[in-house]
Structures are given as structure tokens and as C-alpha cells.
Amino acid sequence: MKSRHDWVIWIGFAAGLVLTFGLIVLPVLNGVWLSMHSAESFIATPHWVGFANYIKLFGNAEFWRATLNGVVYALVSVVLQLVLGVGFALVLNKSFPFRGIIRGLSILPYLLPTVVVGVTFQWMTDGSFGVITALTRSLGLGDIPWFESPSAAMASVILVSVWLWTPFVTVSCLAGMQSIPQALYEAAKVDGASNWSQFWHVTLPQLMHILSVVVLLRAIWMFNKFDIIWLLTKGGPLGATQTLPVLAYNKAFNLFDVGGGAAVATLGFILLSGIVAIYFRLTSEDRGK
């Protein structure tokens, strides 16, 4: 049913769409174009090499390790964010005094710029002056090797990432929980369901939709995260925390291999797209049922 001035809306829509995609698609295409060339820097004349960059990557152990690191980092971070986020939301959904303030506190980490968090964490774990160092020493735990071993470094980076971004999950869950009809809980209680049972059979299914989107968004963002890893470890030690974005940056800006860096980024993009496509296939099947 058309009506007057519909065209205003259509123009707004078209303009908005063009802007959104123009600003994103064009640089992406430029990046893919770069990946088919070899260039020592962003001002050098690129030479066409076709798929040579990609072939070199496929045979490079460092690339595969970076992919694995990225998957591990994204997976573990998201799982922890999910578990903690849902857990926090459950607790924060109850009534207790000063609930508003506590909720505010729990969301605070998300607001902080990554730079601030990276530096604060390094300050707290500094081997000579850090407060956590002092704490663990006084508790008899000695010195925790935050970044002194490859696996510890990955754990530390994951820890900071979880601290930073769990609030996103928490808030989404809290929001979702508001819309769960109280009647469902009443019915479950009448049936004699325990707290855990209520959670598992009432809360969780109702949160599924939100959680699936949250998980998708968080997984994409975690996989592409650059600044927190760069600020904390620069991909070290010994490449233990080097994920694909970090590798791409290193190649393009430090190793005089812009085409290689672009290729890494493109491959990461393709990998991620594949996973997202699978995700959509699975969820649309669910809906179809």
C-alpha cells in the first residue's frame, strides 16, 4: 500500500545503504586486489603475482599456527565470555539492594578503551611494581608467569579479553531474561523443578535466540581482534599469541610484505565467512522446522 512521500523514505534508505556499503566494500576490494600483488610498502608500486602470496602462505607453518591461535583464542574467549556472562546475568537478575550499582559496575569493563585496559593490566602484573605481583607473593603463590611462556601468554590475553567483553553477553542475557514470561517459571515451580532445572529448561531455551546471535558476533569480533593482543604481547612470545590479524599487520608493516599481509587478511575473511555461512545454514534449518 503505497502512500505519499514514500519516495523520501526510499531516498534515505538508498543513500544510507550506498554509504554503508561503499565505505566498506570498496576498501575490502582494494585489500583483495593488494593481496594479488607484491609490494614492499604502501607507497611502492605493486607487482602482479597472482596467487603466489596465497600459495606461499599455505606452505608456511607460521600461517597455520596463526590460524590455530586465532581459532583457539576466539573459541576459548567466547566460551568463557558465554559462561561468565550468563552466570553473571543470572545473579544480577535477582533482586538485592544496590542492584543498579552492581549492574553498572559489571558493565564497566566494556566501556574502557582497549589501550587503557592493556596498560592497566600490564601495570598490575608488572614484575617489580605490580599490585597483583605483590598480592600473589604475599599469598605465597610466588611470581605468576603472565607472559613468560607461550601458553601462559595466550592464557593472559584470553583472560584480559574475557574481562573486557563479558559484559556484552551479560547485558544481552539480562535483556533477554526480561522478556521471559514469569508464567513459565511459575509452571516449572509448580512441577517441583529445582533452580538448576528451571535454568536449564526455562531460562536457557528462551535465551537461545539471543545467545546464538551474541555468540556469532563475539566470535567474529574475537577472531578479528587486533589491538588488545598487539598491546599486550605483539604476538609473542615466540608467536604464541600471533593470530591472523596480528600476522597480517606484521607482514604489511614490519616485514615489507604488504601483499602477504593482505593475503592473510583475505584468508581470514574467507575462513570467517565460511563459518558464518554454516551458522546461517544451521539456524535457518532450525527455523524451518
Partner 1 sequence: MSDKGDNRGVSRRTVLKAAGVAAAAGILQSPYVRAAKRELRLLHDQTTAESIKAMRDAAALYEKERGVKVIVDSVPSEELYPRILAGIRGGRPYDLTSIIFVAHMVSLAKEGQLVPVTSLINKYKWGKRILFPLDGVHYYFPWAYALCWLYYRKDLYAQLKLEPATNWNQYLENARKCMTTGASRRYGHTTPIGSNVATNWMTFGFMWAQGVTLFKDDWSLAINEPQVRKEAAAYLDFMSELYKVMPPGATQFGFASAMQQFGADQAAHAPYSGRMIEYLEQKAPNLADKYGIIPYPNSTGQRKAVNHGYKGILVYKTDMAEESMRFLEWWQEGPYIDFLHSAPLNYQPARLDIYDDPRWKADPLIKKHAEAVKTMRAFLSDDKLIIRSIDTEGPAPDLRPSKVFQSNVLAEMIQNRLLKNTPADACVDEAVTRMRQIIA
Partner 2 sequence: MKMTTHIATKLSKRSRRALFGRTGIALAIAAIAAWSFFPIYWMLLSALRKQSDLFSAPTLWPRNLTLDSFRNLLNLTDYPTQFRNSLIVATSVVIITLVISVVVAYVLTRFRVRGKSFIVAGILYAYMFPPMLLAIPLYGFFVALGIADSLLGLIIAHCTLTLPLAIWLLWGFFKSMPFELEEAARVDGCTRLGSFLRVVLPLSVPGIITAGVFTFLLSWTDYVYALVMITSDEHKTLPLGIASMIGSFELRWGEAMAGATLIVLPLFVMFVFLSRFFIQGMSAGAVKG
- Could you list the residues that contact partner 1 (CB under 8 A)? 4-5, 8, 12, 40-45, 122, 125-129, 133, 143, 145-150, 153, 233-239, 250, 253-256
Which residue, 221 or 226, is less far from partner 1 as judged by CB? 226
Pairing of strands 47-48, 37-38: antiparallel
Choose the stretch contacting partner 2; rule: CB under 8 A; options: 44-52, 60-68, 75-83, 99-107: 99-107
Does 187 bind partner 2 (CB under 8 A)? Our answer is: no
**Residue 156: what residue type?**
S
Of the candidates 42, 170, 193, 43, the residue with the CA atom closest to the CA atom of residue 106: 170
Local structure of 47: helix, strand or coil: strand
Local structure of 227: helix, strand or coil: helix
Does 250 bind partner 2 (CB under 8 A)? Our answer is: no
Among positions 44, 55, 116, 255, the unique one binding partner 2 when judged by CB under 8 A: 116
Does 179 bind partner 2 (CB under 8 A)? Our answer is: yes
* DSSP string across 65-130: HHHHHHHHHHHHHHHHHHHHHHHHHHHHHS--TTHHHHHHHHHHHHHS-HHHHHHHHHHHT-TTT-
* DSSP string across 166-177: HHHHHHHHHHHH
Q: How far is the CB of 170 from partner 2 (least distance, A)?
A: 9
Cα–Cα dist 194/174, whole Å: 21
Q: How far is the CB of 134 from partner 2 (least distance, A)?
A: 5
Binding mask 190-229 for partner 2 (x = CB under 8 A): -----x-------------xx-xx--xx--xx--x-xx--
Instruction: Give residues 148-177 in contact with partner 2 (rule: CB under 8 A).
Output: 163, 167, 171-172, 174-176
State the binding partner of 94 from partner 2, partner 1, none, CB within 5 to 8 A by kind. partner 2
Q: How far is the CB of 268 from partner 1 (least distance, A)?
A: 20
8 Å CB contact between 47 and 36 = no
